Amino acid sequence: MNPEYILRITFIIFFTYFLIQSIFYLFFSVFGLFQSRRRTYQAKEEDSSVLFSTHFSLPVSIILPAQNEEKFIADSLKSILTLDYPEFEIIVVNDGSTDRTLEILNDILLLEQFDKAYTDQFNSGKIHEVYKSVNYPHVTVISKTGGFNKAGAVNAALNFVRYKYICVIDADTIIEPGAILKVMTQVEKDPDKIIGVGSYFGLANGFKIKDGKILEKSFSFNPLIAYQNLEYIRSFIATRLSGSAFNALSCVPGGFGVWRRDVVMQLDGYKTGFSSEDMELTFHAHDYMVKNKKDYQILMLPYYVGWTEGPSAIPSFITQRNRWQRVVNETLWRYRHMLFNPQYKWLGFFTFPYNLLFEVFGVFIEVASIGILTWAWLIKMLDVKIYLGLFLFMVLIQAFISLSALFISIRDEKVFRFRYTCYLVVLSFFEFFLYRWIAITAKISGTIDYCRGVRAYKQYKRK
Amino acid sequence: MEEYHFSLIRNIDAILIIITAFLSITIIIYAVINEWFVGIRYRRLSQIVSDLQKIAFKGNEAIVNEYAALIKHTTSLGLFRILSHKRNNPPGRFLKQFTECINNSAKITEIERIARKSISKWRRIEGIIMLGYLNSPNALGILNQALYNRDNDIAYFSLVSLGHIKNKESAKILLANINNKKFSSYKIASILEHFLPDIAEILIKSLEDQGENLRLWSIRLLSRFKPRECAKKVSDFITDSSADIRAAACECLGEIGAEGFEKPIQKCLNDNIWYVRLKAVIALEKTLGAKSITDIAPLLKDRHWFLREKVKEIMIKHFSESLVFIEKFLLEEKQDVKQSCVEIMDGSGYRDKILNDLVSGDIDTQDKAQLWLKAMIKAGAHFGLEGILSKYSPDMRQKILNAIAAVDKDKAEDIGKRLKGDGQ
């Protein structure tokens, strides 16, 4: 094939791809801005004391799956125990931990073995023991065999939950005291319709935490962490918040997600065959509700409900992103019938194509375009000025997307101090030089692993 | 061609540079202004709150005059911040005087205008919320009208604001909207729950309404206010076709603790729906206390685990009345029922008592304890025995192990081995 022809095609693909991406993000950002504003005001004007002191609140079963979480489980559990919410139970699942997780749980909760008859309704692995806490009667601990991913741990807990709503929280997440109250205030507005709710959470790296309480929110200046903070903002505001406005949310985050139990039961619990459970469950819920012609809503809220520990080293980061990429591929393949299907409305025509184009194929388009352009420049088919111009174009598009999300974020959720905001502004312009390539590596390795049939929930190493 | 491409890319890049630079500067300026502005706003509000507290200590005459002056110089947004946050409210009874002063000032006209027709939606909502706190003469009319606003947020916050005016008129408006699909019944009920008990008569009247949802929530709310005079009317709903209403009726009768209504509740113990049975169990225990065990104990065999747990809890509470049933259930085939009996014995401390009785001096007590032990071991009640036994001295422990061996030799050996392992 004629090299000039290849270059011309690459040029067209390159520009079209970035043009579509910009339009998508611009669209998402505008709707994210309105949605964020609305929800922030709603929370500000709400009198949550009514919900806090009512007999008619919707009680919540909090599920905390934990596998080898000896470093975080104490703080995470303590933050949940002190939640401001009138009625909730906690079910901790010790998912085959080989470290001191169970011992730490016992120290805090003072566990007592509890012989409870139950029906194992879902694919969850063998449950060995059930414990009740002597100190906190509303806490149950289940000890089970590992090997069914996080989904299996949540399924095990589903056998024991009592309340209409479940809230799944990661064991490395510190929850804000008002988290459930804020989320359930929204649910209470229409409990018949709202089946799932997610909300923001950020990275706790650098925070001063004691006994499950955040003493100081000092955000980490480690570039890898700061870039992840920026990416979280981008993802929550620019895609999920606006997706929620059209009832086309692609993922209720696994770190903190509230679901109506009857819906999860109808879905036969969480699917254990996926690398991760959050995105699959969200698509499954959409699919079930649409197929059964039920009126429903899955919401994303712009309130910081919790803080999680992000990977602070590159190999850990790649391990985590590898898993995220796999679950995107697995879910989109499993629910491919939604693509451009009018039944699924915005999900089929907007969220799904977006994920397919930018989350699955995007990385290959970017790498191929850059590779071909570099090759063309090396063989002197492409002028250096044009090559650098294109490179600058990519940097600026990336910066534009990050900055618009950052602007919405600092406008509504005032979590970053001035210095950190400035730091994020500066970092936005350099994302393309290193962080982007690490993320690309993780995505490519995730796609390769997906094709190889890897479905394991690999936990990355924490500091 | 190449020149054309270069010029195209250069122009696009130039536009992008301008946009990103503009965004960056905007973010930085916004962050600076925001930090500065938040500080000023906080200091201003703290000053007003502190002034309010100082005035409160000066005596009644000063309060009226100085409050009026303070209100005049405070913006409606400032007043909103004072009224909507409890920590900013004037202390105790002075809040009422403060709201009266606002209602008598020119500010109330401005607030009502904001609540009626402010162009900014959220400013309007702040006005609406303030009206609820102030309960001005026109408040009910404005809020009632706003309930039907097309904008869901305006309608919702009007509902919330009506909840601040805790009188019969606002209760009527709120109840009338319980069938309105725009609002959640849960929300309305949680608001009405904080009203004074004198709204019970409105709730009792609502029991005659045709709408099932209104009847259901009226009963649920009545169970919070507990007016004894409604017991008869509520008991009629025990046979309602809706399971939710039957469950709510049971709960309400239990909360009222109305004697003479046990029979209708007892009927619900055989209901097809588990949560109706559950509410009936709770209601019966609340009404009859320990006497309810005769009716409740058979539900230890219920197919729903949550109900069984509740029955277990009640049987532990009234253990001596439950003992006769436990003795009977331990002889039954079903393993989970036996297990529940053991858990009741464990929860009530009876298992420890049996072990103590086994090593007591009295022969009759020992024989009786031996019989219980046999029933327990046959029912598989050996779980956790090693934990309990480890508290005893080696002599006593051996005596108990011998008693266990008389019932089941293997089990005694197993427990003995585990105890030794524990000791090591």
Convert chain A into a string of H (helix), E (strand) and C (coil): CCHHHHHHHHHHHHHHHHHHHHHHHHHHHHHHHHHHHHHHHHHHHCCHHHHHCCCCCCCEEEEEEECCCCCCHHHHHHHHHCCCCCCEEEEEEEECCCCCHHHHHHHHHCEEECCCCCCCCCCCCCEEEEEEECCCCCEEEEEECCCCHHHHHHHHHHCCCCCCEEEEECCCEEECCCHHHHHHHHHHHCCCCEEEEEEEEEECCCCEEECCEEEECCCCCCHHHHHHHHHHHHHHHHHHHHHHHCCCCCCCCCCEEEEEHHHHHHCCCCCCCCCCCHHHHHHHHHHHHHHCCCCCEEEEEEEEEEEECCCCCHHHHHHHHHHHHHHHHHHHHHCHHHCCCHHHHHHHHHHHHHHHHHHHHHHHHHHHHHHHHHHHHHCCCCCHHHHHHHHHHHHHHHHHHHHHHHHHHHHHCCCCCHHHHHHHHHHHCCHHHCHHHHHHHHHHHHHHHHHHCCCCCCCCCCC
Contact between A141 and A92 under an 8 Å Cβ cutoff? The reply is yes
Q: Give the CA count within 13 Å in the CB-facing half-sphere of A158.
A: 26
Q: CA A266 to CA A184: how far, in whole Å? A: 22
pLDDT, average across residues A214-242: 91
Q: Which is higher by pLDDT, B18 or B386?
A: B18
A399, A402, A404, A409: CA torsion to nearest 10: -150
pLDDT tier for residue B35 given thresholds of 50, 70 and 90: confident
Could you give the angle at which helices A278-291 and A314-334 cross, rounded to 10 degrees? 20
Q: CA B147 to CA B182: how far, in whole Å? A: 10
**Highest mean pLDDT, choosing among A339-348, A429-438, B53-62, B228-237:** A339-348
Separation in Å, CA of A373 to nearest CA in chain B: 14
- C-beta atoms of B31 and A386 within 8 A: no
Q: Which of B136, B129, B33 is nearest to B79 (CA)?
A: B129
Contacts of A47 in chain B (CB under 8 A): 84, 160, 163-164
Of A57, A117, A386, the CB nearest to B336: A117
pLDDT digits (tens, 9 = 90+) for A60-76: 999 999 999 999 999 99
Separation in Å, CA of B14 to nearest CA in chain A: 9
pLDDT of residue B424: 36
Q: In the predicted model, is pLDDT for residue A273 greater than 90?
A: no
Q: Which residues contact B208 (CB under 8 A, 6 or more apart)?
A: none
Q: In the predicted model, is pLDDT for residue B422 greater than 50?
A: no
Separation in Å, CA of B60 to nearest CA in chain A: 30
Q: Within an 8 Å CB–CB cutoff, is residue A394 touching chain B? A: no
pLDDT, average across residues B5-20: 90
Contacts of B126 in chain A (CB under 8 A): 45
- C-beta atoms of A406 and B190 within 8 A: no
pLDDT of residue A298: 96
- C-beta atoms of A56 and B2 within 8 A: no
- C-beta atoms of B24 and A428 within 8 A: yes
Strand order through the sheet with A165-169: A111-113, A127-133, A139-144, A88-95, A60-66, A165-169, A256-260, A194-203, A297-308, A173-175
- C-beta atoms of A396 and B305 within 8 A: no
Q: Chain B: residue nearest A392 by CA?
A: B13
Q: Chain A window 297-326: which residues touch B at a Cβ cutoff of 8 Å?
A: none
Q: CA A184 to CA A54: how far, in whole Å? A: 13
- C-beta atoms of B16 and A397 within 8 A: yes
DSSP B90: P
- C-beta atoms of B305 and A410 within 8 A: no
Contacts of A113 in chain B (CB under 8 A): 383-384
Contact between A8 and A382 under an 8 Å Cβ cutoff? The reply is no
pLDDT of residue B288: 92
Q: In the predicted model, is pLDDT for residue A122 greater than 80?
A: no
Contacts of B166 in chain A (CB under 8 A): none
pLDDT of residue B101: 84
Contact between B284 and B276 under an 8 Å Cβ cutoff? The reply is no
pLDDT, average across residues B23-47: 88
pLDDT tier for residue B380 given thresholds of 50, 70 and 90: low
Helix, strand, coil percentages for chain B (3-state, nearest 5): 80, 0, 20
Could you give the angle at which helices B2-56 and B60-73 cross, rounded to 10 degrees? 170
Contact between B78 and B45 under an 8 Å Cβ cutoff? The reply is yes
Q: Which residues contact B62 (CB under 8 A, 6 or more apart)?
A: B55
Q: Which of A302, A296, A242, A253 is nearest to A277 (CA)?
A: A253
pLDDT digits (tens, 9 = 90+) for A151-167: 999 999 998 888 889 99
Of A41, A55, A390, the CB nearest to B193: A55
Q: Which of A167, A145, A165 is nearest to A156 (CA)?
A: A145
Q: CA B182 to CA B176: how far, in whole Å? A: 12
Cβ atoms < 10 Å from Cβ of B206:
20
Q: Within an 8 Å CB–CB cutoff, is residue B196 touching chain A? A: no
pLDDT digits (tens, 9 = 90+) for B71-96: 888 888 788 888 877 777 776 677 77
Of B19, B31, B187, the CB nearest to A418: B31
Q: In the predicted model, is pLDDT for residue A425 greater than 70?
A: yes
Contact between A413 and A303 under an 8 Å Cβ cutoff? The reply is yes
Of B19, B34, B194, the CB nearest to A50: B194
Q: Which of A115, A110, A145 is nearest to A130 (CA)?
A: A115
- Which residue type sits at B37? F
- C-beta atoms of A417 and B35 within 8 A: yes
Q: Which residues contact B65 (CB under 8 A, 6 or more apart)?
A: none
pLDDT tier for residue B60 given thresholds of 50, 70 and 90: low
Mean residue pLDDT across chain A: 90
Residue of B10, B17, B22, B24 best to disrupt the A interface, most CBs of A under 10 A: B24
Q: How do A139-144 and A208-210 pair as beta strands?
A: unpaired
Could you give the angle at which helices B121-134 and A3-45 cross, rounded to 10 degrees? 20
- C-beta atoms of B191 and A50 within 8 A: yes
DSSP B165: S
pLDDT, average across residues B384-402: 78
pLDDT, average across residues B273-284: 92
Residue of A19, A25, A56 best to disrupt the B interface, most CBs of B under 10 A: A56
Q: CA A176 to CA A43: how far, in whole Å? A: 14
Q: CA A185 to CA A163: how far, in whole Å? A: 16
pLDDT tier for residue A196 given thresholds of 50, 70 and 90: very high
pLDDT of residue B382: 57
Q: Within an 8 Å CB–CB cutoff, is residue A191 touching chain B? A: yes
- C-beta atoms of B5 and A386 within 8 A: yes
Q: Which of B303, B304, B193, B179 is nearest to B255 (CA)?
A: B193
- C-beta atoms of B84 and A47 within 8 A: yes
Q: Within an 8 Å CB–CB cutoff, is residue B20 touching chain A? A: yes
Length of chain A in residues, anyone? 463
Of B12, B32, B129, the CB nearest to A418: B32
A335, A336, A339, A345: CA torsion to nearest 10: -20
pLDDT of residue A461: 65
Exposure string of B165-186, with b = 16+ CB inside 10 Å and e = fewer, is bbeeebbebbbebbbeeebbbb
Q: Which of A433, A200, A452, A222 is nearest to A316 (CA)?
A: A222
Contacts of B42 in chain A (CB under 8 A): none
Length of chain B in residues, anyone? 424
Q: Which of A90, A88, A143, A89 is nearest to A114 (CA)?
A: A143
CA–CA distances in Å: residue B202 to residues A78, B171, B207, B257: 44, 8, 9, 21
CB pairs under 8 A between A and B: 125
Q: Chain A window 406-435: which residues touch B at a Cβ cutoff of 8 Å?
A: 406-407, 410-411, 414, 416-418, 421-422, 425, 428-429
Q: Within an 8 Å CB–CB cutoff, is residue A400 touching chain B? A: yes
- C-beta atoms of B193 and A56 within 8 A: yes
Q: Within an 8 Å CB–CB cutoff, is residue B320 touching chain A? A: no
Q: Which of B80, B183, B72 is nearest to B123 (CA)?
A: B80
